[in-house]
Amino acid sequence: MHIAVVGGGPAGGWSAALLAGLGHQVTLFDAQAPWEKPCGGGITMKALDRFAIFDGSLTRKTVEQITISFGSDTAVTLRPASPPAVVSRADLGKCVLDHARRNGVHVVPERVSHVQRDGRSWKVSTRTGALHADFLIGADGATSLVRRLLSRPLPPEDLCITLGYFIPGDAPAHMKIFFLPSLEGYVWSFPRPNHISYGLITRSSPGWAARGKVLLGNFITADFGAEVMHQAEFYSAHVPCLSPPAWRKNIIAGDGWALVGDAAGLVDPITGEGIYFAFRSAEILAHTFGQSDAYIGKIWAEIGRDLARASHVYKRFYGSRFLGADFRKRTLQLAQRSATIREILDNLIAGDQSYLGLKRKLFYSLPAVCWDVLTRRNGA
């Protein structure tokens, strides 16, 4: 079968590689890949352990400690039992595409301008010509052309914006996450192998790009001084951040087509993390190829239900109050005094704690948390 993949990021490249490995003829279209993205580039231990792409020579930096802050007066530092790693997204993209090419994938460095049904096949058009394929995969990100034409586009309220600066130089293996009272989202500082990724994620709204750049500039200047801004490279991109109603309307496959990764909306709405889901959705598509109902069902059972639960938690996490203060602030204050809460945070970051099981975990951990607080264990 001839398969056309639109988009050459982790989801598209991995889908192409796996399907070519199964004997299919695969053509992948992307005018820019591999590219950098204004994300931290953090890879959870769950992803590092599962996907073979991370067993090779991909350069990465293993995180030794993670500091999570709220405002200027509340912070907790974790020393993760299952440490994440940080990679350059351009390096990761190149690694995935090289693997796809070795599996026989034909990579076309052009932008797809249109796709349409042509009898039982798909006509995939670029500026210089057209190709016919039996199956179409949309892996072209949050603003996916394939999604717009075959499913429903993600509206602005289901998108977040990420802004980032890449600052050349080495940095300690210290990941930092900053929550601010007025920001529905967070600021990050991630140590990559040869530079620092400093960025911000928040709900997309008019004027936020300009305000976000100023906010990031202030954080970077406070950490490194104003002169580093002359070397910093700016990036911006959209990330899916589906609301609870959007999950009920999220159509990700049909007769002869499927969406993977960001194009399918498979991103944690609280953290913005999507690398694990990009690779895993590619695997699920390869295992269920040609069975759209099986693909939809397995994505929902393994990924969608938990992310939909995260979308319900989102508003509480960013907008509710707990014990008379902002929920995020109180959580970090408890983490300062409770080894149990720190362990739960560590497991969330590692990808080992689901949102579906979080409420139950917190309930059964309540006696241990109370004991921690009463005995004033302080590991911050």
The H or E element spanning position 174 is: strand 174-179
Q: Which residue has the higher pLDDT, 204 or 258?
A: 258
pLDDT classification of 374: cutoffs 50, 70, 90: confident
pLDDT, position 376: 67
User: How much is the mean pLDDT over the chain?
Assistant: 91
Q: Just give the CATH number of 2-41+87-153+245-312.
A: 3.50.50.60
pLDDT at 103 over 90: yes
Strand partners, 186: 201
Q: Compute φ and ψ for 54, nearest 5 degrees.
A: -90, 0
Q: Give 2-57 pLDDT, tens digit per residue.
A: 999 999 999 999 999 999 999 999 999 999 988 887 677 889 989 998 998 888 77
pLDDT at 377 over 80: no
pLDDT at 379 over 60: no
- CA triplet 349, 46, 83: central angle to 5 degrees? 55
- pTM, rounded to two decimals: 0.93
Q: Give 342-369 pLDDT, tens digit per residue.
A: 999 999 988 889 999 999 999 899 999 8
Query: Which residues lie closer than 8 Å to 129 by C-beta, 6 or more apart?
Result: none
CATH 3.30.9.10 in the chain: give the residue spans: 157-240
pLDDT, position 250: 95
CATH 3.50.50.60 in the chain: give the residue spans: 2-41+87-153+245-312
Q: Which CATH architecture has domain 157-240?
A: 2-Layer Sandwich (3.30)
Q: Which of 191, 189, 117 is nearest to 149 (CA)?
A: 117
pLDDT classification of 182: cutoffs 50, 70, 90: confident
Q: Give 47-102 pLDDT, tens digit per residue.
A: 998 998 888 778 889 999 999 999 888 999 999 998 999 998 889 999 999 999 99
* DSSP sequence for 305-331: HHHHHHHHHHHHHHH-EETTEEHHHHH
